[in-house]
Amino acid sequence: MLIAEIIRKKRNGQTLHTDEIAKMVQGISDGGASDAQIAAFAMAVLLNGMDRNEAAALTMAMRDSGDVFDWAHLPGPVVDKHSTGGVGDNVSLMLAPIVAACGAYVPMISGRGLGHTGGTLDKMESIPGYVATPDNDLFSKVVAETGCAIIGQTTHLAPADKRFYGIRDVTATVESVPLITASILSKKLAAGLGSLVMDVKFGNGAFMADFDKARELALSITGVAQTAGLPCHALLTDMNQPLADAAGNAVEVTNAVEFLTGTRREARLTEVVIALCGEMLVTAGIENDRHRARDLALSALEDGRAAERFGKMVAALGGPADFMENHAAHLPQAALQRAVPAPDAGVVRAIETRDVGLAVVELGGGRRVSSDAVNPAVGLTALLPVGTEVAKGDPLVLVHADSEDAADQAQATLLAAYEIGAQPEAQAVLREIIE
């Protein structure tokens, strides 16, 4: 079976058989398909799509291109959550220990920052000593002993997806719904999950700004997951403003520690975290009612069990044993902080969230190209949410920068991103749940 014939068939809008998709993925894995052929295949799929069975076959073939974890020895259900990315989206850091404290196991394999969105892995690597890419034995040990581990994709986990995504990223084919679906699910299935919950973002800070497109992706992921034998629910959540009031790496870790310990919790962030935790507990079979499941999650948060789990996970993966008690002493600090003053009196009417994320990138907290080093200390805190009343000169956000020039650039970007005006209509952060 020739790779070129598989490409031609999809180029002509025909449906591919499972063995043809398996052959294509084998070529991606072992070098039998050139970069040009992989790019042509990706473009053919982008233009002509895939049906659910094709997307499921692609998912399973990429899953089987490397290691597949088996958690059968664990005494509880194995579940995870995946977000399509946003600004100030540090939900994973709180969610994994909360769900673990409720009796499930969360082997969370996360990614790095992409474009204007932050990456969970970059956030965890701001913790001194934290091993974000452990070997399989250590990963398995930490999950078994603490109930959760937040790590990065290893070279042996869905390697076909890693090569495929790298080519898609430079050939304008990332936006294909079936390819996004297969990319996400292949890694989650390789992680050996028993169930999955998706947080699909929409709005001006999401990769899919349009609600209908985000919903299309949510339906694709839940449908293909079911076809592949993985129970999956999806929540559609608003990203028309930053979710947490911090954006960056170390600053989002600080925000997460404060959330877990009860020092400070923002309402929108709490709603999303608890809703996702509840859905995970339902799909995992720990609870069959989402309202009781949310209460269970909230209890694990409020009584300190979740904070204890996070601290144990950090220590088990090489971080400081006293991290929860002394996080401020351990996390890196930027050279300077600067408040960005409101240019007028009024109400925060809207925020161009993507530009807030780009301000973090400009400060050095993200990547312009994949080879860029990330400065974990820089970022933004005290981001005022939509609907906040301000006087002229009130701080809209606090910039953490390593130079005055970087702070100047971030301030200009943020002033353009914030719209001050009349009180806007309130928008729910959780729009829909798809089972």
What string of DSSP letters covers 354-375?
HHHHHHHIIIIIS-SSTTPPP-
The three-class DSSP label of residue 126 is: coil
* Distance separating alpha carbons of residues 150 and 80, to the nearest angstrom: 10
d(CA 192, CA 71): 7
Tracing tokens 């220990």 back to the chain, one arrives at 97
Q: How far apart are CA 320 and CA 262, in angstroms?
A: 20
Q: Is 312 a catalytic residue?
A: no
Residue 172's pLDDT is: 85
Q: Residues 29, 117, 173, 183: which is the catalytic one?
A: 183
Compute CA distances 392 → 16, 341, 396, whole Å.
61, 7, 10
Question: How many residues are recorded in the chain?
Answer: 435
**Among the options 188, 312, 330, 338, which is catalytic?**
188
Reading the block at residue 169, the tokens are 């990223």
Marked catalytic residue, from 23, 63, 82, 233: 82
Q: What angle do CA 19, 217, 39 make, to 5 degrees?
A: 50
- Which of 63, 123, 168, 233 does the annotation list as catalytic? 168
Identify which of 129, 91, 127 has the alpha carbon closest to the alpha carbon of residue 110.
Answer: 91
Dump pLDDT digits (tens) for 294-336.
Answer: 999 999 999 999 999 999 999 999 999 999 999 999 999 999 9
Q: What's the pLDDT at 9?
A: 97
Catalytic residue, candidates 63, 162, 187, 294 = 187
Structure tokens that stand for 263 in this block = 């020092």
Q: Show the CA angle centred on residue 161, arms to residues 353 and 217, nearest 5°.
A: 45
Asked if residue 290 lies in contact with residue 274, where contact means CB atoms within 8 angstroms, the answer is no
Of 83, 126, 140, 381, the catalytic one is 83
3-state secondary structure 81-108: EEECCCCCCCHHHHHHHHHHHCCCEEEE
Would you say 236 and 202 are in contact if contact means Cβ atoms under 8 Å apart? yes
* Sheet arrangement for strand 430-434: 79-83, 195-202, 232-238, 430-434
pLDDT at 115: 61
Question: Which residues touch 64 (CB under 8 Å, ≥6 apart)?
Answer: none
Collect all residues with Cβ–Cβ distance below 8 Å to 58 and sequence separation of at least 6. Answer: 21, 25, 50, 178, 179, 182, 186
User: Which residues partner with 340 through β-bridges?
Assistant: 397
- Reduced DSSP (H G I as helix, E B as strand, rest coil) percent helix, strand, coil of the chain, to 5: 45, 15, 35
Q: How far apart are CA 149 and CA 138, in angstroms?
A: 10
pLDDT of residue 113: 57
199 is catalytic: no
Instruction: Let me know if 80 is a catalytic residue.
Output: yes
- CA 215, 221, 222, 224 dihedral sign is positive
- Rounded Cα–Cα distance for residues 202 and 97 (Å): 26
Listed in sequence order, the DSSP H helices in 88-242 are 91-101, 120-124, 136-146, 159-169, 177-190, 211-227
What's residue 224's pLDDT?
A: 94
183 given a catalytic annotation: yes
Helical segments of 284-322, H only: 290-302, 305-316
The dihedral over CA atoms of 268, 317, 148, 313, expressed in degrees to the nearest 10, equals -60
Q: What's domain 336-421's architecture?
A: Alpha-Beta Complex (3.90)
Whether 264 is catalytic = no
Q: Which of 92, 120, 126, 353 is catalytic?
A: 120
Find out whether 410 and 362 touch, Cβ atoms under 8 Å.
yes
Fold observed for domain 79-327? Pyrimidine Nucleoside Phosphorylase; Chain A, domain 2 (3.40.1030)
DSSP-derived 3-state class of residue 235: strand
Provide the 8-state DSSP code for 333.
-
Q: Which two tokens stand for residue 17?
A: 């058989």
Verify whether residue 83 is a known catalytic residue: yes
For the chain, the structural domain boundaries read: 3-49, 79-327, 336-421
Question: Residue 17 gets which letter from DSSP?
Answer: P
pLDDT recorded at residue 157: 83
Q: What is the longest distance spanned by two Cα atoms in the chain?
A: 69
Distance between CA atoms of 240 and 210, rounded to whole angstroms? Answer: 11
**Cα–Cα distance measured from residue 105 to residue 75, given in angstroms and rounded to the nearest whole number:** 9
- Residues 259, 256: Cα–Cα separation, whole Å: 5
CATH H-level, domain 3-49: superfamily: Transferase, Pyrimidine Nucleoside Phosphorylase; Chain C (1.20.970.10)
The catalytic residue among 64, 80, 161, 199 is 80
Q: Among the options 81, 162, 327, 338, which is catalytic?
A: 81
82 carries an active-site annotation? yes
- What's the pLDDT score for residue 120? 87
Report the run of H or E that residue 336 belongs to, with start and end.
strand 336-341
Listed as ranges, residues in the chain with pLDDT below 50 are: none
Choose among 137, 93, 154, 108: nearest CA to 323: 93
